[in-house]
Structure 1
Amino acid sequence: MKRLIKNGQCLVNGHLQVRDILIADGKIAKIGQHLSAQTPVDQIIDAQGLFVSPGLVDVHVHLREPGQTAKETVKTGSLAAAHGGYTTIAAMPNVIPAPDTSERLKAMLALNQRDGAVHMVQYATITTDRGGDELVDMAGLKAAGAFAFSNDGNGVQTAGTMYQAMQQAAQLNMAVVAHAEDDSLTFGGVMHEGNVSKRLGLPGIPSVSETAQVARDVALAAATGAHYHVCHVSSAATVQVIRAAKAAGVNVTCEVSPHHLLLSDEDITSDNAMLKMNPPLGSEQDRRALITGLLDGTIDLIATDHAPHTDAEKAQSMLKAPFGITGSETAFAMLYTKFVKTGLFSLVQLINWMAASPAARFGLNAGQLMAGAPADVVLFDLTTPFTIQAADFLSKGHNSPFIGQQVLGKTIRTLVSGKDAYISRP
């Protein structure tokens, strides 16, 4: 089947220009002008007035299946990704049971293949059940189809364990993707430790709990040569450590989540679990340092850390509610509205951080519009305001602090390998 996306605005040499995109056999066959006059097609998709983007790539999502399907499933989570303009996602391993053996990983890959609405890759764990010091069979898991190794949700507490994991991962040419958190430095906190936590009377988590482990791990990455990727960087001090490590030639990459770019602990004015995430929202100084880190190349990419929970769980106090917010369905619109429309980021930069860069850093065949590439294409409306509403979410999770925000950048249509994965309701 041949489809033609006609009259859309594409980024060409950094500027929006009208182009047509011909799709055949799941791939982009040609990008040009007036292609409908040249080639007969089965369907024309009129993208007049819309931005035609490469499909976004999210290397950090939580789909909760198996084991926690009241929060999310592979089907609902991947549909939510398509709704947000994502065509490739990487599923974290904090499910029950965790994919810490080849058999469990293969079962998850089969589930992803069966129910996924977008392209999906799957993390395996670093240690058994994402805890302790017993390393998984990394070679066996790579052979079974693991994308990379992560204990996300838990930091690897023992330096020797992380050192050995990196040694094996380097030999296998696989990435170690770390949730950096020293448990001995969290002190039972529920938000960033600072003036706001003290004012609200809530226990705080000092930023050094993240920075100390990243500092340890970049030293281990330097010693082993492993590709070390830091999840959801949240503090100015951590950005400084990573900047220095990169300057020293360490093979380290990192990501920032939309909520850490958009919010700080100053936005927490009451005991509101919608603003409880791990790592917690940092200070305004931290937020500005993250933006600077993106702009100067210290931070490589943006990943959502999409973390759905039930309404009942998030209705509790921050003292009891679980950490995490959803992100797949709000990331592009919020970032486009708050940063591109205000002139701080360019559209070229945003698409790079959300598509091309994550694909390049992890060797994925995704994130670019070019002839021969997979036909993973998104049509965004950049001009018509809309309000983010929980009723429009395809995720089971409604735990977002951005509900009610008026934004630009609505997803109109998402194509995965040339087929419709999401079409906006009129």
Structure 2
Amino acid sequence: MGFLLARGSVFLNGGFQTADVAVENGRIVSISPSLPRENRSVIEIQDLLIVPGFVDVHVHLREPGFSYKETFASGTAAAAAGGYTAVCPMPNLKPVPDSCETLKPELDAIARDAKIHVYPYGAITAGEQGQFLSDMAEMAPHVAGFSDDGRGVQSDEMMRAAMKAAKALDKPIVAHCEVNALLKPGGCIHDGTWAKAHGFPGISSESEWRQVERDIGLVRETGCPYHVCHISAKESVALIRRAKAEGLPVTCETGPHYLVLCDEDLQDEGRFKMNPPLRSAADRDALLEGLLDGTIDCIATDHAPHSAEEKSKGLQGSAFGIVGLETAFSILYTQLVQTGIVPLELLLDRLCVRPRKIFGLPGGKIAEGAPADLTVLDLNRPHTINSRNFNSMGRATPFDGWMVSAAVAATICNGKLVYTDFQREDT
């Protein structure tokens, strides 16, 4: 038996319309201002929004190899709680998925434990070591694209070869851009005035944008679809904007934390340490401009859980990475939409629609016959973010204790309720 989402405000054709949405056998079977209630389980959601399920094209679910940090069970539960019906996990695992043989343990774990759709990446290079290409052709039918996330591909010739191979396979190169030669020993935060004032070794913006610049040149040469991970610097925004204007197949993402925070917000705690780091207010403003003008295609959390011990050693000693799946929408809505900086429809495009178009993933549209991958949002649910309540095994977030005004009320994946919180109280 199916169910009916009754009297919600449904995201249709770029706007909202009050309607009922009927779901059966994993698909949307009808959308209408009024549908019959007989022989259906009815979920009354008046005053709530129904939108396509969110997709995050950049997460770390840590399995296999690092399941003390996160598992597919805990990570996809966190994703569902954040409104996500699909995620793309990065390949910095053990073993690194650089062939079908080493990809199989990850695919087996996904089939066994994932609560939502999971589309993994394969590595660009064997072992993510940058010396030899992975078995890209063998993995291509099973992966969303190829990435050595966590490491930039240092060799121009290796990246050129990777792009040629990916182009032939019609798969994107998804690049973590970082020039190792431009990194200072012990760099842990943005190399700006805050780092200098507090005596921390910095990570330069140039270490990011120089590799973006190199890779765009290689895209011009090879024609490979190319997606830049977690951009943080104003120079990267400008380079990508110019590449798009030139008609190159270049796309990019940034994270909620880069859009909301800057290095002036830093505290000497591990929950503020990520790579790339929070940069200057000018960089944050450039990212917002890039989001608004279409330069930035996706908002991706770079959800990167670590153990409490690994995140307990301040900015200098903690591991890089924060969690973000369970806070992304609430933070973005409260800080950017409610304040009038970003229209809700644009935010939904970057969370639901455009990422799927770039990566060729199903869903992203509410229509009869479409997959029933839906998120129900409550825009009037004030609460305080409390990391102790996370489904994720990771707890490190710079947003702990922040007041937000909206929440995910339910997540539906394959026509099944994988998360519900219709009665959540303030915490």
TM-score (norm 1): 0.97
Does residue 34 in structure 1 map to residue 34 in structure 2? yes
1:141 counterpart = 2:139:
yes
SS at match of 1:319: helix
Deviation at 1:17, TM superposition (A): 2.9
Question: Residue in 2 aligned with 1:360?
Answer: 357
SS at match of 1:149: coil
CA separation in 2, counterparts of 1:186 and 1:94? 20
2:282 to 278, 282, 285: 285
The reply to whether residue 96 of structure 1 matches residue 94 of structure 2 is yes
| 1:186 maps to amino acid | L
Match of 2:330 in 1: 333
Instruction: Provide the residue aligned with 1:231 in structure 2.
Output: 229
Measured in 1, the distance between the counterparts of 2:244 and 2:303 equals: 27
Of stretches 216-225 and 13-22 in structure 1, the one that deviates more from structure 2 is 13-22
Query: After alignment, is 11-20 or 146-155 more displaced?
Result: 11-20
Once the two structures are superposed, the pairs formed by residues 245-260 of structure 1 within 5 Å of their partners are: 245-260=243-258
Return the offset for 1:346. 1.1
Whether the aligned pair in 2 keeps the contact of 1:4 and 1:36 (CA below 8 Å) is no
Tell me the distance in 1 between the aligned counterparts of 2:400 and 2:332. 14
1:155-203 C-alpha deviation (Å, 9 max, x unpaired): 0010100000000000110100000000111112100001000011010
User: Would the aligned equivalents of 2:226 and 2:249 in 1 still touch at CA under 8 Å?
Assistant: yes
- Counterpart of 2:21? 21
Tell me the CA shift for residue 15 of structure 1. 4.2
> Deviation of residue 95 (structure 1)?
1.0
Distance in 1, Cα, partners of 2:320 & 2:209: 19
DSSP-derived class of the 2:76 partner: helix
Q: Which residue of 1 aligns with 2:73?
A: 75
Cα contact 1:5–1:46 (8 A) shared by 2: yes
How many pairs are equivalent?
422
Structure 2 counterpart of 1:382, from 379, 382, 386:
379
Partner amino acid, structure 2, of 1:96: K
C-alpha contact 2:19 2:31 (8 A) present in aligned 1:
yes
Distance in structure 2 (CA, Å) of the matches to 1:191 and 1:23 = 47
Asked if residue 210 in structure 1 is aligned to residue 174 in structure 2, the reply is no
Partner of 2:416: 419
Equivalent residue, structure 2, for 1:112: 110
What are the Cα deviations for residues 38-83 of structure 1, in whole angstroms up to 9, with x where unaligned?
Answer: xx34311111221111100110000011111111001100000000
| Cα deviation digits, residues 293-342 of structure 1 (max 9, x gap) | 01111111111100111111111122211111101000000000011111
Q: Secondary structure of the equivalent of 1:76?
A: helix
Q: Secondary structure at the match of 2:177?
A: coil
Q: Deviations over 1:176-233 (max 9, x none)?
A: 0000000111112100001000011010011000000000000001100100100001
SS of residue in 2 equivalent to 1:126: coil
Q: 346-355 vs 44-53, which deviates more?
A: 44-53
Whether the 8 Å CA contact 1:125–1:151 is kept in 2: the answer is: yes
**SS of residue matched to 2:315:** coil
- Aligned-residue CA RMSD (Å): 1.2
SS in 1 for 2:316: coil
Percent identity reads: 45
- Give, in whole Å, the separation in 2 of the partners of 1:125 and 1:5: 40
Q: For residues 116 and 354 of structure 1, what CA distance do their matches in structure 2 show?
A: 20
Q: Is the 8 A contact 1:88 1:366 kept in 2?
A: no
Deviation at 1:153, TM superposition (A): 0.5
Matched, 1:184 2:186: no
Q: CA separation in 2, counterparts of 1:13 and 1:127?
A: 40
Deviates more, 1:239-248 or 1:118-127: 239-248
Whether the aligned pair in 2 keeps the contact of 1:264 and 1:281 (CA below 8 Å) is yes
> Using the alignment, how far apart are the partners of 2:196 and 2:391 within structure 1?
37
CA shift at 1:12, angstroms?
4.0
1:400 alignment partner in structure 2 = 397
For normalisation by structure 2, the TM-score amounts to 0.97
The one-letter code matched in structure 2 to 1:382 is: L
Q: Distance in 2 between matches of 1:184 and 1:408?
A: 43
Q: CA deviation at 1:22?
A: 0.6
SS at match of 2:157: helix
* Structure 1: runs of 5 or more not aligned: none
Indicate the residue corresponding to 1:199 in structure 2.
Answer: 197
1:160 counterpart (157, 161, 164): 157
CA distance in 1, matches of 2:376, 2:388: 21
Segment drifting more, 28-37 vs 167-176: 28-37
The aligned counterpart of 1:11 is 11
